Structure 1
Amino acid sequence: MKNQQRMSMHKTITVILMVTTLLASLTACRGDNGVNTVDPEPGEFNEAGLPIVNKPVTLKVLTVRWGSMGDHFIQNQWLKDLDKNTNVNIEWQVMSSNDWNERKSIMLASGTLPDIILGSEVFRDADIVNNLSLFRPLDHYIEENMPNLKTAMQETPEMKKISTFPDGKIYSLPSRLPSRPKSSRQPVINKTWLDKLGLKVPDTIDDLYNVLKAFRERDPNGNGKQDEIPVIELSNDLISPFGIADLNNNAMVVEDGNAVYYPVSEAYKEGLKWEHQLFTDGLLDKELFTQDETMRSAKFLNPDAPIVGFTYQWTPDAVFGKWSDQYETIPPLAGPDGKRYTIGNPYGMNLERNELLITSSCKYPEIAARWADEFYTNEASIQNFWGAIGTVIQKNDNGTYTLMDPPIGTSADAWYWDNSLRDFGPKYVSPTFEKSIFLNPNNGDGLKLQLDKLGSDYATLPFPNVMYTAEEFQKLPTLTTNIDSYVNTMRAQFIILGVNDEAWADYVKQLRGMGLEQLVKIRTDAFSRYISVE
């Protein structure tokens, strides 16, 4: 018993030390030896114009970066100028996503947070909804202190929709990223193989079937082996020609303005029949259900000869390595109804929420709100997405902007992340302003926009990124874990064995017994709240 007591006491002391260490790190200042923020004197706060305060004030800002990206982005000249122009000095605390989850749990349990949380990687919907008392509702500050964001929400109403929580209030601020595509992954085919076999680029799924069959049987890579893999992976993209365009991987689509759970739909059933035909005829990778990402990547990069015929990708060069020149992105394939569908969003895949929160610990919410609003101008946003003007962006005399080429040996994307907040943080680039931005069409964001032209007209309105209540968040994990697992298992079974009416009826019955109606109600209730926001 004494040993157990000692172990219990040891664990308690360990937790206390971890919390104490974390809180100490949050109050420590970068470059000013831990000096606490001082309340501005009456009359020092300016409701408009710059500086925001006449005497310097310090705010603590926490953000999380991928892996070992570090904090070089705070050298962004625009961020430096913001400190000077606003008189708001920022103590940056930059954490790595590698160890953030453990630290996050301690922070939320302690209830002690810095003034501002920046970036959607820090706290997710459930973190915020289950700890609302730690964050300030921002509706009043948006109305009174944030004219830039207010204008952005009027111009792009979806920004307000995605930011409104189930109680009708806004706790986190959104972003609209610049120059983003409307389509997600697009069909990519080995054009060299098509030319060698005298085949045209497929236009329909029937055309694709015939092409894949030729790839399998006619040795297009010319190595004398039947090692060609016509289709290498199973994804939602493969059944998108049947009208199933699931961008957010939540098994929901929108049809005629209504939320629909598609894994029990006739369209999905027909898609499964199509996949079964591909499997039966040997056109799907025989290791489809057993390979991991490492195995699949090795096939894309097969050193002796290209062996993959068809896939869906962001850009071909992302996966095919030295064989990239043989592959070409093609338009979406027409499905059984003669229509084309692209997984994406006709409004652009550029809207996010939870990009900035002002915590209840913040003593100067009006100052924090005015500081955050400075991020919602066009020039501020492009500099916080790519890098500062003069460093990464060239501002031209005619009012346009050109992205510079990255240093030799550095990818464009890595360069942007190093010099900016990139995907994270508040920003807004208006659709009109986007026309003044010029990107290199041969790499990075510019290449994706070029390829996007093939599929953007067919981007299908997805089930939106809805918000759930705390009660719904409690129910969802159990429901989705069981139901999603069963749907995936049965998809594999239907692909291998085929779909008949009796097996389909049993499948639907089983889903209902697992709580499908409850899951759908949660999804549709959240959808109704989303579309009701004005």
Structure 2
Amino acid sequence: MRNKKWLLLIASLIVVMFLAACSGSDSSDTDSGEEESNETDSSSGDEESERAASSADNVNKEGFPIVKEEIDLTFFTGKYEPNLDDYEETLVFKTYAEQTGVNVTFDEVPFGTLTEKRNLALASGEYSDVFYSARIPAADLYTYGQQGIFVPLNDLIDEYAPNLKAVMEKHPDIKKGLTMPDGNIYSVPSYYSPEFLPMLIGKPIWVKDSWLEQLDMEEPKTIDDFYAYLKAVSETDLNGNGENDEIPFSASNVNQIVNSIKGAWGLGTRGVGHTYVDIDPETDELRFTRTDDKYKEMLEFVNKLYTEGLIDQEIFTMDDSKLNAKGSQGVLGTAIVPNPETVFTDQDDYIGLGSLEGPHGDNLYSHVKTPLVHVGAFAITDKNEHPEATLRWIDHFFSDEGAAFQFMGIEGETYEVTEDGEFEFFEEITNNPDGLTFDQALTPYVTWMGGSYPGYVQEKYFKGSESLPSAIEVGEKVAPNAPEEIWNGFNYTDDELDFKQTTGADLHTYIGEMEAGFISGDISFSEWDNYVEQVKEMGQDEYLEVEKAAYERYQES
């Protein structure tokens, strides 16, 4: 079916090119050429209208199947590396294709190369019907939406997405975050219920409880306690193998470490959705954090951990797969992961930490994500001939039934509902007889592991690592010291976007390179003042003004 569509499209393009060549072949016949051009445009518009009408006519407004005649779609798909390839062969999507009549081919791109390949696809024009789980930034949604590459969804949501519309009405911040400065919505989000705090935390700091007991140490409550624990791990053969192979602290990248501990210096007062600005609690004004004196102190602490060998020395080349492999070897004293129980093999002796009090008495748990965690989780492109059916396809996952299906699979095959209404995976998933981790056991059935998926995450239907008792306990620890307000992303005007994508991008690159140097020790902290001066010269004040303007609109919307 898809080959036939391509042949028809190619034939149409040849006809259009032939007519355009004819209209421009005789420059002296200006009037005639204009008339032919107008007739061609009118004909093209009529064909487009007919195609749109045909697409809409093929859609059933309610129930399954979604379409009267089967359709084929291709999704550019962000992929968590440990998931299986060929998403269309997993239980959920194979079943969904049978239910809906919508046959999706998922072209998976690992998250590690996602940004590069997504940008290349958009720039080259070689993109799919849909960008799925593709982490499209708001700036790109706006830029390519104005160019017509992403389809405006406002009217389509009203007519074809009742479940998404209901969730947006329940949580008004969704619409505020999705609506671009031109008034259009170009995407469907990944949204975490604000009541589900363990999900907003995402990746706590986990410490090995059995090692705390061996060391006769209490759970760290301050940044000094935490340092003492890491130091003790580095000096003790806690796994008893006679080797000095214990790694005190690891994560999939160094930024996770920074964002997880900076609250001990009172930084990140509005969560991790904005890593360059927050609200200064002393002045109640917007501040640029990355040149703040407290930020320097925090970086000095991370540098101390790294140079003393307390942070994994491979931290600058780490990824999720490497981290999970190390964790499964039982050598990690501390790890920043969703939950060791689900990503490490036979490692269920970790506890999650709450906030850590810092040297100035700050006690903030800053690593709390925005509920609108991915604005651009799902976007329909202008190459999609079936936008109505496509939106209906994703809308199902914003219903209760669809959420249970997306996250749990099929009742009786992957999970059961208990007498008290709780959803529980079967034991072959939670306690796999072949020794697979929870995430590994789930891969034949679902694809949400690793995040970034479009959908509505609620504790009732989401039984991932964030729903385990150990994660719920972390949420309870964090709650008293979580940020008082969590910001969603700001949306920017054309001029602001231009600044962010030029001067702002240069600032981000410079800051990232310098911070890596400070942490690794390649750059001495004696260069800090020069670094601050350079950031100011590169446009820190203008950057802050742009953020202030966007923040004021955010407050007013």
Q: For 1:46-100, what per-residue CA distance to the aligned partner results, in whole angstroms no more than 9, with x for missing partners? A: 89644688953636352425265202137547624642xxxxx313222121598
SS, match of residue 376 in structure 2: strand
Equivalents in 2 of 1:224, 1:425: separation in Å? 43
1:215–1:230 contact (8 Å) kept in structure 2: yes
Match in the other structure for 1:164:
179
Q: Residues 293 and 381 of structure 1: is their aligned pair in 2 closer, same or farther, counting only changes over 3 Å?
A: same
**Equivalent residue for 1:383?**
405
Could you give the per-residue CA deviations for residues 151-203 of structure 1, whole angstroms, max 9, x where no partner exists? 21121122213312232321111233576623243333343443334332232
Question: How far does residue 478 in structure 1 lie from its aligned partner after superposition?
Answer: 2.8
Residue matched to 2:276:
251
Structure 2 residue 446 is matched with structure 1 residue 420 = yes
Correspondence 1:390-409 to 2 at 5 A? 390-396=412-418, 399-405=421-427, 406=429, 408-409=433-434
Q: 1:264 to 1:214 in 2, by over 3 A?
A: same
Secondary structure of residue in 1 paired with 2:134: coil
Long gaps (5+) in structure 1: 1-19, 29-36, 84-88
Determine which structure has the larger helix proportion and give its number: 2
Partner Cα separation in structure 1 for residue 370 and residue 376 of structure 2 = 19
Q: What is the DSSP-based 3-state SS (H/G/I as helix, E as strand, rest coil) of the residue aligned with 2:541? A: helix
Q: Do structure 1's residue 69 and structure 2's residue 94 form an aligned pair?
A: no
Percent identical pairs in the alignment equals 22
User: In the alignment, residue 72 of structure 1 is paired with which amino acid?
Assistant: E
Q: Which residue of 1 aligns with 2:169?
A: 154
In 1, Cα distance between the equivalents of 2:518 and 2:217? 35
Which residue number corresponds to residue 269 of structure 1?
A: 296
In 1, Cα distance between equivalents of 2:262 and 2:509: 22
Per the normalisation by structure 2, the TM-score is 0.70
Q: Structure 1 stretch 465-474 or stretch 154-163: which is displaced more?
A: 465-474
Do 1:297 and 1:319's aligned partners in 2 also have CA atoms closer than 8 Å?
no
Corresponding position of 2:363: 340
Q: What does residue 226 of structure 2 align with?
A: 208
Aligned match of 1:58: 71
| Residues 118 and 424, structure 1, Cα contact 8 Å, conserved in 2 | no
**What CA distance in whole angstroms lies between the structure 1 residues aligned with 2:478 and 2:523?**
33
CA distance, structure 2, for counterparts of residue 250 and residue 230 of structure 1? 26
Distance 1:199 1:297 in 2: 25
3-state DSSP class of the match of 2:359?
coil
Distance of 2:272 and 2:304 partners within structure 1: 25
Which one of the candidate residues 525, 533, 538 is aligned to 1:509?
Answer: 533
1:465 paired with 2:505, answer no
SS in structure 1 of the partner of residue 310 of structure 2: coil
For residues 175 and 269 of structure 1, the distance between their equivalents in structure 2, rounded to whole angstroms, comes to: 33
Work out which of the residue numbers 169, 174, 186 in structure 1 matches 2:189.
Answer: 174
2:377 is the alignment partner of 1:359: no
Between stretches 134-143 and 365-374, larger displacement belongs to 365-374
Pairing partner for 2:352 from 326, 329, 340: 329
State the Cα deviation string for residues 126-147 of structure 1 (Å, max 9, x = none): 5533322122222222234433
Q: Distance in 2 between matches of 1:512 and 1:361?
A: 43
Alignment of 1:30-45 (within 5 A): none
Alpha-carbon distance between aligned partners in 2 of 1:419 and 1:225, rounded to the nearest angstrom: 39
Residues 1:297 and 1:453: Cα distance change in structure 2 (over 3 Å): closer
**Pairing 1:286-325 to 2, within 5 Å after superposition:** 288=313, 292-293=317-318, 300=326, 306=331, 309-317=333-341, 324=347
Give 1:474 shift. 3.4
Deviation at 1:383, TM superposition (A): 0.8
What is the CA deviation profile of residues 230-267 of structure 1, one whole-angstrom value per residue up to 9, with x for unaligned ones? 55675212433112346357433344575432121232
Offset of residue 336 of structure 1: 3.2
Residue 223 of structure 2 aligns to which amino acid in structure 1? I
In structure 2, what is the Cα distance between the partners aligned to 1:367 and 1:463?
A: 33
Q: Per the alignment, in what secondary structure is the counterpart of residue 267 of structure 2?
A: coil
2:204 is equivalent to residue 186 of structure 1:
yes
Which residue is equivalent to 2:36?
none
Q: Structure 2: any 5+ residue segments left out of the alignment? A: 11-49
Counterpart CA distance in 2 for 1:510 and 1:110 is: 35
Residues 40/509 of structure 1: CA separation in 2 closer, same or farther (3 Å cut):
closer
Seen in structure 2, the aligned counterparts of structure 1 residues 177 and 213 have a Cα distance that, compared at 3 Å, is: closer
Q: Structure 1 residues 140 and 255 mapped into 2: Cα distance closer, same or farther (>3 Å)?
A: farther
Matched positions, count: 485
Q: Structure 2 matches for 1:464-483, cutoff 5 A?
A: 464-468=488-492, 469=494, 471-472=498-499, 474-475=501-502, 476-483=504-511
2:512 matches 1:484: yes
